[in-house]
């Protein structure tokens, strides 16, 4: 159960990097453009760890026979797999193509995706917390 | 009551009603005037007649054009257009106040136009038909425009009225209604019977009604123009109009009389707005009077004129922009007089006062013209306008001016004329389509950016995203920023004046609040004018910041200071990477490349620091040491292609000037060196890596010649094309890159300011989809010569040579970035072209060349309601080949509108098509080809249904589109039949991908010629309408629709496809033509692969060649000409461009329209 907390910490961390991306969109492009480029790069690097961690938790849930939790996470896992399969052609691991990320549609989509995931992770964080406390109390 | 009202349905209209009557009253006054004006009208009419005399037949045709196939020439339309135009323009925009003034004008127009007709009739029986244009309105119904009925009635009524004596009774009616002082009306009425004199007095009164005295009125108007928004302006104009009316055809207003009166009211909006534009066109006289009154109007008119362009009037309009009105007037130029007509247009387009300082002059003009119009009215001029009137002199000027008027407004009107595509078959203008002129004041129009450089899909920017969505048209810019320019003001200045918050460069559209402050037109921040800017180097005067060249030209170039450099300007550096594998030797390009480069070595752009280098590759990479002092070039071979290194760092890129002999040596020996090569592999990837390393320190241009699929080392590719799938209709695979090696390398190159240009000369599949990435993201250009062979394919060889010559000698800019700024509220959505996007509004261009263009999709984030203008500024910062850091700034200014009809009126169908093409390319790569094709078809469906439901209220069957967009379905159909997007026809993957690349980078005009070639008939060219340039006569044959039915066996037809001309000779073509132009005795003796026109001394040949040369003018890459015989196998290449015909896999134009209609009814 302690693992859950850890997971959440990671999730928080993940969401943490999402925010900068969101922010840089609204920032003044002329002033912040350099920062923005850097942040996009950071985001590129963070995608894979996020997926791996999520996958790792799913495995842990599976081992712990937490079927309900696993079911909740499976759709996202499937989405991650699909997203990674349909990523642009690139030789290195990564999800975002620097040449198209500035396209308003793609950027908006990534942003939306980030927020949705943030919400999901937050909710699951509280759910895990509740589950952990429940287990602690009942034991 | 009338449909129009229903259409607009806007509450304001209702409100306006009451006011309208008041206006109508003025009309009565005017009516008498008209009588007096008759003389003036006469002049006008005469003038028109003269001008249009030869055109008249066309006019006649025009009314019938809907049904009849006759060639309806848009320019000629004046009469028909007027009627048609009347309805659409959206009066709704104006508020109540405005309405009244408008209403009157509208009525005026109608009457006036009619009037002129009558006059014409009187003068010439022949002309009658033209007036019939009025009757033509009845014909209109076919077109089914909502307003149309109103207009027709209107027209008829007015006619009746006009015929009747400009009735006194009506005037009486009007009098009561009049808002104006009671005393006035009475006199006016009395006067009316009397001729012009009376009217003049009336004028005075009417003016008073609005303003206290005439004089004051003007002052007010003046102020208004400066400070008020468009509305204020409008009202003023109206007031002015009243005053003016008397002199001009105003009498027509009198016609309004009781019956007319009502009508006038009713029409009010519709007629006015539409009328303004429409009427202006037809009725020179009417326009004239109005013009005098309102300065603003004048400005607008001029704009219109410029826009109109076709007719004689247009030229005049452009010639005399506003500011110098006085001078010009005195000169007796058209333009001045023109403004009056413009007034009408102004009404149509509410963009009123832009708060531009120059307004005043225009204003003054108004009065002047006014006087012109009413030469006879001494009283009038004396009474209040003496100042103004004096300048104007003689009737002849007047008449000329009036005549000029006729042409202008039609365009406005014309743009909104509903066109039923299923019934109207002759849609093409006689001459290639010009960009529509934005509806701006002449001042702004004069300084606005050239449409060749900067074009917007909507020349009237919708106020909100909601309105844009409603219009179902894409909003975007098409940019050709580094275009070769004939003249370009270059400014050297220590401080480049820019807005402190948004960094916009100062431009003609900023506002000077006073001598020391200016207001940014993009972010509205108020900035200080620096001291240095107070001095004008052109006039050598101090204290005139608004006369500086930066503020007088919308395209300027600054010499930038060191603030604009990240590092000192680098020398121009050119590296040539040449494929010398067996395949390349077979193709035989190397010899021609070396020859051409030798010839053009001195013409390479650059200075004494210019550096060049060469690198060849097959399965190894060969470097050439050209260090000065060597007796001959040294070849260094690197065979380790997995880890490429540079054998020697400073001797591979050498100074061209110092090592010229060695370079020449190399170029002469190079073709022979590899003539025995048996190596079939190609290590393009490693060669590019080597090039990257070689160029990294300075940046520059890498030119890659590749003849086959790269097979070795990094970046090796597999053949992905399945020849059996070439004509598949299911969709096309492998449009995207197979590897990101080239993209990543391109991004690295871009970071080091290296641009890579790719010449692909392959006879087999070479995976251009992957290779093109190297150029796409490093801002390079791509050239593709399918089936290149120096013996077997002479046509490609010649094209290659021509392209290469242009390529070597064209300008180039290094280390470039381009930033596009736009008015607050607009934002950039997507870029199209070859570049790397560094930020939301910043493009990184390692190289910039004069032949590549960009497209930008825009979106509207915030409402633009608080400004009447939207501006776009593209600033290109680059290092010239001479090592100077320069900034080229283009600024485009467009009006903001809140009416859907205005958005449609300002739509630029060519720009829309090009932007959609770009979007479709993106879609086909990211999604699928069939998706992209569907999206294009849906674009047409959406437009037609949006127009049907929002603008034209008539429930009419058929496909109705605004005239401005009438070519849209043809263009979309052409797009669908292009190599890039077609399905079902066998298309090689590389050719398809190349066509896509072309779409992304070609400038608009070139692209449009590729998409929808221009077809002319050459064997019966007449000198009618011919251009006279220097001492040559350039005939101007009419454009023909791209359909085989337009061809005939006894003719010779020229098709201009941008890169290539096809001259199709019919089987029964007259032998005179064949002999005189082609130099062959008869049809049978024309050689099958003829690709030039001999220079014969016959007049026919000279004319044809003059026309061809004229078409070639201003074209970056000279086009080849192919003579296509009717029976030759080459016929297929010619016929595939006849896009309106059915091909084995694609529908004809008519079928396409039916398909659209089906889609709509779903």
Which chain A residues are Cβ-neighbours of B741 within 8 angstroms? Answer: 91
> What are the tens digits of pLDDT across the range B807-830?
999 999 999 999 999 998 898 999
Residue among B100, B105, B134 at smallest CA distance from B23: B100
Where is B192: in which H helix or E strand? Answer: none
Least confident piece of the model among B178-192, B417-431, B1128-1142: B178-192
Q: Which band of pLDDT confidence, cut at 50, 70 and 90, is reported for residue A46?
A: low
B840 in contact with A, Cβ within 8 Å: yes
Residue A51 distance to chain B (closest CA, Å)? 22
Share of chain B above pLDDT 70, in %: 64
Mean pLDDT confidence for A10-31: 40
Three-class secondary structure assignment of B924-960? HHHCCHHHHHHHHHHHHHHHHHHHHHHCCCCCCCCCE
CB–CB of B738 and A105 under 8 A?
A: no
Concatenated DSSP letters of B722-738: -GGGTT-SS-----S-S
> What are the tens digits of pLDDT across the range B332-347?
333 333 333 333 333 3
Bridge-based pairing of strands B960-962 and B418-420 is: antiparallel
CA gyration radius, chain B: 32
Q: Kindly tell me the sign of the dihedral angle through the C-alpha atoms of B137, B142, B147, B150.
A: positive
The pLDDT assigned to B955 comes to: 59
- Assign B281 to helix, strand or coil: helix
The pLDDT assigned to A6 comes to: 44
CB–CB of B503 and A30 under 8 A?
A: yes
Which chain A residues are Cβ-neighbours of B747 within 8 angstroms? Answer: 98-99
Q: Say whether pLDDT at B212 is over 80.
A: no
Residue A42 distance to chain B (closest CA, Å)? 16
Bridge-based pairing of strands B1120-1125 and B1060-1065 is: parallel
The pLDDT assigned to B1015 comes to: 92
The pLDDT assigned to B357 comes to: 35
CB–CB of A33 and B840 under 8 A?
A: yes
Q: Say whether pLDDT at B837 is over 70.
A: yes
Could you tell me the two tokens for A105? 């549609």
Contact call for residues B293 and B374 (beta carbons, < 8 A):
no
- In degrees rounded to 5, what are phi and psi of residue B1016? -130, 155
d(CA B40, CA B196): 10
Give the position of tokens 């058929």.
B958
Contact call for residues B475 and B461 (beta carbons, < 8 A):
yes
B37: left (phi over 0), alpha (psi -120 to 50) or beta: alpha
Which chain A residues are Cβ-neighbours of B873 within 8 angstroms? Answer: none
CB–CB of A30 and B777 under 8 A?
A: no
The pLDDT assigned to B75 comes to: 37
Query: Cα–chain-centroid distance for residue B907?
Result: 10
Mean pLDDT confidence for B896-906: 90
d(CA B4, CA B16): 14
Mean pLDDT confidence for B575-599: 93
Which chain B residues are Cβ-neighbours of A95 within 8 angstroms? Answer: none
CB–CB of A103 and B502 under 8 A?
A: no
Which chain A residues are Cβ-neighbours of B738 within 8 angstroms? Answer: 89
Share of chain A above pLDDT 90, in %: 4
Q: At CB < 8 Å, which residues of chain A contact B?
A: 29-30, 33, 36-37, 88-91, 98-99, 102-105
> What are the tens digits of pLDDT across the range B603-638?
999 999 999 999 999 999 999 999 888 888 999 999
Give the position of tokens 């692209």.
B1007
CB–CB of B740 and A90 under 8 A?
A: yes
CB–CB of B747 and A98 under 8 A?
A: yes
CB–CB of A99 and B743 under 8 A?
A: yes
Which chain B residues are Cβ-neighbours of A37 within 8 angstroms? Answer: 838-839
Which chain A residues are Cβ-neighbours of B841 within 8 angstroms? Answer: 29-30
Contact call for residues B291 and B247 (beta carbons, < 8 A):
no
Q: Say whether pLDDT at B241 is over 70.
A: no
CB–CB of A91 and B838 under 8 A?
A: no
- Assign B684 to helix, strand or coil: helix
Task: Give residues with Cβ within 8 angstroms of A82, minimum separation 6.
Answer: none
Which chain B residues are Cβ-neighbours of A36 within 8 angstroms? Answer: 839
Give the position of tokens 């040491």.
B625
> What are the tens digits of pLDDT across the range B353-404?
333 333 333 333 333 333 333 333 333 333 333 333 333 333 333 333 333 3
Contact call for residues B446 and B320 (beta carbons, < 8 A):
no
Mean pLDDT of chain B: 70
CA atoms within 13 A on the CB side of B993: 27
Query: Cα–chain-centroid distance for residue B989?
Result: 32
B401: left (phi over 0), alpha (psi -120 to 50) or beta: alpha
Residue among B877, B822, B227, B860 at smallest CA distance from B521: B822
The pLDDT assigned to A1 comes to: 41
DSSP classification of residue B438: P
Helix, strand, coil shares, percent, chain A, to 5: 80, 0, 20
Q: Say whether pLDDT at B150 is over 70.
A: no
Which chain A residues are Cβ-neighbours of B778 within 8 angstroms? Answer: none
- In degrees rounded to 5, what are phi and psi of residue B886? -135, 155
The pLDDT assigned to B456 comes to: 94
d(CA B131, CA B129): 5
- Closest residue of chain A to B746, computed from CA coordinates: A99
For testing the chain A interface, which of B733, B739, B740, B767 should be mutated: the one with the most A CBs within 10 Å? B740
Contact call for residues B313 and B406 (beta carbons, < 8 A):
yes
Could you tell me the two tokens for B1153? 């329209």
d(CA A98, CA B1053): 48
> What are the tens digits of pLDDT across the range B953-987?
665 667 888 888 889 999 999 999 998 998 888 88
The pLDDT assigned to B419 comes to: 81
The pLDDT assigned to B128 comes to: 34
Mean pLDDT confidence for A70-87: 88
d(CA B179, CA B170): 16
- Closest residue of chain A to B836, computed from CA coordinates: A99
Task: Give residues with Cβ within 8 angstroms of B1104, minimum separation 6.
Answer: B1018, B1021, B1077, B1093
Closest CB from A33, A37, A89 relative to B740? A89
d(CA B162, CA B138): 18
- Closest residue of chain B to A32, computed from CA coordinates: B839
Contact call for residues B686 and B621 (beta carbons, < 8 A):
yes
The pLDDT assigned to B7 comes to: 35
Mean pLDDT confidence for B428-437: 84
- Assign B761 to helix, strand or coil: coil
d(CA B929, CA B740): 21
**ipTM over cut 0.95:** no
- At residue B239's C-alpha, the angle toward residues B236 and B245, to 5°, is 135
- In degrees rounded to 5, what are phi and psi of residue B892? -120, 140
Where is B1062: in which H helix or E strand? Answer: strand B1060-1065
- At residue B756's C-alpha, the angle toward residues B787 and B586, to 5°, is 30
- At residue B880's C-alpha, the angle toward residues B877 and B885, to 5°, is 50
Which one of A29-33, A114-118, B127-131 scores highest in mean pLDDT? Answer: A114-118
d(CA B275, CA B117): 16
Could you tell me the two tokens for B197? 């004199």
Where is B325: in which H helix or E strand? Answer: helix B325-331
Which chain B residues are Cβ-neighbours of A105 within 8 angstroms? Answer: 829-830
Q: Select the more confidently predicted residue: B215 or B1019.
A: B1019
CB–CB of A30 and B502 under 8 A?
A: yes
Q: Select the more confidently predicted residue: B940 or B53.
A: B940
B505 in contact with A, Cβ within 8 Å: no
Residue B447 distance to chain A (closest CA, Å)? 28
Q: Select the more confidently predicted residue: B621 or A100.
A: B621
Which chain A residues are Cβ-neighbours of B739 within 8 angstroms? Answer: 89, 91
> What are the tens digits of pLDDT across the range B541-578?
887 888 888 898 999 999 998 888 888 999 999 999 99
Which chain A residues are Cβ-neighbours of B837 within 8 angstroms? Answer: 99, 102-103
Return the bridge partners of B1122, or none.
Answer: B1062
- pTM (predicted TM-score): 0.68
- In degrees rounded to 5, what are phi and psi of residue B550? -60, -30
Closest CB from A88, A89, A102 relative to B837? A102
Could you tell me the two tokens for B599? 């010839």
Return the bridge partners of B921, or none.
Answer: none
CB–CB of A89 and B503 under 8 A?
A: no
d(CA B703, CA B1131): 35
CB–CB of A33 and B838 under 8 A?
A: yes
CB–CB of A30 and B841 under 8 A?
A: yes
CB–CB of A33 and B503 under 8 A?
A: no
d(CA B936, CA B976): 8
Could you tell me the two tokens for B563? 């603030």
Which chain B residues are Cβ-neighbours of A103 within 8 angstroms? Answer: 829-830, 837
d(CA B1091, CA A28): 56
Task: Give residues with Cβ within 8 angstroms of B761, minimum separation 6.
Answer: B584, B587, B589, B705, B706, B707, B784, B785, B788, B796, B800
Q: Which band of pLDDT confidence, cut at 50, 70 and 90, is reported for residue A68?
A: confident
- At residue B697's C-alpha, the angle toward residues B622 and B642, to 5°, is 40
Contact call for residues B783 and B766 (beta carbons, < 8 A):
no
Bridge-based pairing of strands B654-655 and B960-962 is: unpaired
- The B residues from 898 to 927 touching A (CB cutoff 8 Å) are none
Mean pLDDT confidence for B1121-1127: 85
Residue A60 distance to chain B (closest CA, Å)? 35
> What are the tens digits of pLDDT across the range B109-133?
333 333 434 444 444 433 333 333 3
Could you tell me the two tokens for B30? 């005017």
Q: CA torsion B271→B272→B277→B282, rounded to 10°? A: 60
């Amino acid at each position: 159960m302690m693992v859950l907390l850890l997971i959440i910490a990671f999730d928080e961390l993940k969401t943490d990097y999402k925010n900068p991306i969101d922010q840089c969109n609204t920032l003044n492009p002329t002033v912040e453009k350099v920062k923005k480029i850097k942040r996009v790069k950071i985001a590129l690097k963070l995608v894979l760890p996020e997926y791996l961690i999520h996958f790792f938790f799913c495995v842990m849930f599976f081992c712990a026979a937490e079927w309900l939790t696993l079911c909740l996470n499976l759709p996202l896992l499937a989405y991650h797999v699909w997203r990674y399969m349909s990523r642009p052609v690139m030789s290195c691991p990564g999800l975002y193509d620097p040449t198209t990320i500035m396209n308003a549609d793609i950027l908006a989509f990534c942003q939306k995706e980030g927020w949705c995931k943030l919400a999901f992770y937050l909710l699951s964080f509280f759910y895990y917390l509740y589950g952990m406390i429940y287990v602690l109390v009942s034991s | 009551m009338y449909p129009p009202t229903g259409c607009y349905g806007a509450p304001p209209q209702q409100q306006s009603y009451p006011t309208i009557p008041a206006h109508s009253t003025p009309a009565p006054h005017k009516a008498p005037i008209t009588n007096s004006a008759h003389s003036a009208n006469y002049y006008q009419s005469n003038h028109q007649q003269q001008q249009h005399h030869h055109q008249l037949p066309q006019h006649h045709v025009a009314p019938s054009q809907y049904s009849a196939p006759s060639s309806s020439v848009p320019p000629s339309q004046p009469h028909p257009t007027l009627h048609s135009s009347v309805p659409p323009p959206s009066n709704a925009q104006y508020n109540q106040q405005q309405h009244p003034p408008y209403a009157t004008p509208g009525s005026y127009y109608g009457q006036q136009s009619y009037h002129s007709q009558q006059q014409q009739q009187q003068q010439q029986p022949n002309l009658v038909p033209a007036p019939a244009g009025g009757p033509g309105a009845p014909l209109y119904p076919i077109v089914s425009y909502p307003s149309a009925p109103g207009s027709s009635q209107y027209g008829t009524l007015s006619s009746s009225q006009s015929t009747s004596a400009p009735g006194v009774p009506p005037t009486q009616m009007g009098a009561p209604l009049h808002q104006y002082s009671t005393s006035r009306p009475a006199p006016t009425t009395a006067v009316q019977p009397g001729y012009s004199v009376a009217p003049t007095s009336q004028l005075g009164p009417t003016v008073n009604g609005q303003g206290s005295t005439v004089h004051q009125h003007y002052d007010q108007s003046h102020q208004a123009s400066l400070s008020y928004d468009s509305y204020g302006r409008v009202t003023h104009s109206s007031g002015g109009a009243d005053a003016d009316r008397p002199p001009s055809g105003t009498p027509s207003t009198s016609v309004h009389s009781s019956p007319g009166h009502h009508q006038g009211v009713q029409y009010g909006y519709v007629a006015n707005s539409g009328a303004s534009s429409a009427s202006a066109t037809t009725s020179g006289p009417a326009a004239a009077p109005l013009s005098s009154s309102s300065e603003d109007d004048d400005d607008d008119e001029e704009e219109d004129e410029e826009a109109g362009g076709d007719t004689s009037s247009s030229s005049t309009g452009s010639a005399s922009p506003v500011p110098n009105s006085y001078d010009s007037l005195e000169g007796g130029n058209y333009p001045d007089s023109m403004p009056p007509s413009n007034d009408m247009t102004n009404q149509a387009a509410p963009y009123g006062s832009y708060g531009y300082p120059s307004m005043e002059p225009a204003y003054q003009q108004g009065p002047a013209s006014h006087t012109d119009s009413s030469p006879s009215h001494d009283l009038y001029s004396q009474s209040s306008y003496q100042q103004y009137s004096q300048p104007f002199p003689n009737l002849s000027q007047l008449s000329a001016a009036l005549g000029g008027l006729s042409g202008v407004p039609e365009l406005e009107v014309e743009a909104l004329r509903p066109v039923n595509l299923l019934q109207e078959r002759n849609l093409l203008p006689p001459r290639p389509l010009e960009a529509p002129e934005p509806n701006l004041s002449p001042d702004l129009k004069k300084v606005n950016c050239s449409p060749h450089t900067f074009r917007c899909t909507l020349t009237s920017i919708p106020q909100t995203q909601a309105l844009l969505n409603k219009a179902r048209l894409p909003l975007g810019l098409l940019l050709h920023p580094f275009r070769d320019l004939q003249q370009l003001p270059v400014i050297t200045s220590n401080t480049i004046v820019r807005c402190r918050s948004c960094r916009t460069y100062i431009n003609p559209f900023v506002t000077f609040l006073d001598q020391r402050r200016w207001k940014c037109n993009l972010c509205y921040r108020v900035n200080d004018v620096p001291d240095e800017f107070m001095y004008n180097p052109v006039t050598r005067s101090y204290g005139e910041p608004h006369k500086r060249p930066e503020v007088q030209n919308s395209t300027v170039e600054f010499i930038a200071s060191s603030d604009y450099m990240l590092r000192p300007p680098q020398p121009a550096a050119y590296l040539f990477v040449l494929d010398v594998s067996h395949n390349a030797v077979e193709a035989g390009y190397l010899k021609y490349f070396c020859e051409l480069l030798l010839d053009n070595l001195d013409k390479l752009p650059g200075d004494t620091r210019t550096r060049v280098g060469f690198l060849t590759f097959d399965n190894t990479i060969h470097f050439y040491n050209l260090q000065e002092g060597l007796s001959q070039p040294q070849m260094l071979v690197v065979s380790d292609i997995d880890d490429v290194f540079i054998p020697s760092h400073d001797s591979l890129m050498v100074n061209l000037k110092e090592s010229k002999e060695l370079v020449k040596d190399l170029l002469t020996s190079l073709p022979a060196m590899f003539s025995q090569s048996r190596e079939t592999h190609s290590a393009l990837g490693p060669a590019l890596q080597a090039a990257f390393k070689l160029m990294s320190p300075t940046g520059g241009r890498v030119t890659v010649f590749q003849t086959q699929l790269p097979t070795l080392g990094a970046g090796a590719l597999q053949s992905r094309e399945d020849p059996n799938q070439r004509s598949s209709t299911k969709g096309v695979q492998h449009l995207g890159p197979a590897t990101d090696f080239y993209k990543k390398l391109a991004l690295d190159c871009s970071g080091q300011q290296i641009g890579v240009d790719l010449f692909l000369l392959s006879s087999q599949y070479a995976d251009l989809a992957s290779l093109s990435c190297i150029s796409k993201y490093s801002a390079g250009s791509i050239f593709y010569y399918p089936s290149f062979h120096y013996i077997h394919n002479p046509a490609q060889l010649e094209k290659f040579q021509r392209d290469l010559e242009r390529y070597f000698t064209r300008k180039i800019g290094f280390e470039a970035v381009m930033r596009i700024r736009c008015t607050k509220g607009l934002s950039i959505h997507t870029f199209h072209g070859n570049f790397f996007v560094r930020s939301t509004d910043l493009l990184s261009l390692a190289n910039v060349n004069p032949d590549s263009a960009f497209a930008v999709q825009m979106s509207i984030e915030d409402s633009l309601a608080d400004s009447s203008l939207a501006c776009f500024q593209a600033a290109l910062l680059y290092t010239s080949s001479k090592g100077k850091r320069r900034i080229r700034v283009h600024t485009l200014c467009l009006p903001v509108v809140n009416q859907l009809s205005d958005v449609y009126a300002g739509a630029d169908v060519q720009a829309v098509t090009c932007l959609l093409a770009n979007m479709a390319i993106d879609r086909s790569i990211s999604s699928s080809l069939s998706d992209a094709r569907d999206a294009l078809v849906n674009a047409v469906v959406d437009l037609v249904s949006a127009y049907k439901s929002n603008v034209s209220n008539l429930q009419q069957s058929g496909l109705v589109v605004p005239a401005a967009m009438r070519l849209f379905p043809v263009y979309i159909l052409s797009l669908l039949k292009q190599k890039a997007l077609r399905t079902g026809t066998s298309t090689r993957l590389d050719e398809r991908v190349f066509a896509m690349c072309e779409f992304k980078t070609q400038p608009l005009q070139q692209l449009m010629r590729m998409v929808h070639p221009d077809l002319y008939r050459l064997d019966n060219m007449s000198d009618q309408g011919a251009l006279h340039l220097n001492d040559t006569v350039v005939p101007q044959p009419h454009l023909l629709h791209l359909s085989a039915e337009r061809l005939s066996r006894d003719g010779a037809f020229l098709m201009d496809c941008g890169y290539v001309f096809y001259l199709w000779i019919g089987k029964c073509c007259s032998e005179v033509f064949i002999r005189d132009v082609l130099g062959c005795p008869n049809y049978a003796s024309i050689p099958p692969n003829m690709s030039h026109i001999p220079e014969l001394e016959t007049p026919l040949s000279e004319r044809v060649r003059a026309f061809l040369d004229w078409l070639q003018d201003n074209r970056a890459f000279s086009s080849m000409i192919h003579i296509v015989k009717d029976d030759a196998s080459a016929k297929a290449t010619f016929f595939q461009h006849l896009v309106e015909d059915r091909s084995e896999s694609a529908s004809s134009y008519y079928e396409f329209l039916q398909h659209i209609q089906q889609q709509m009814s779903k």
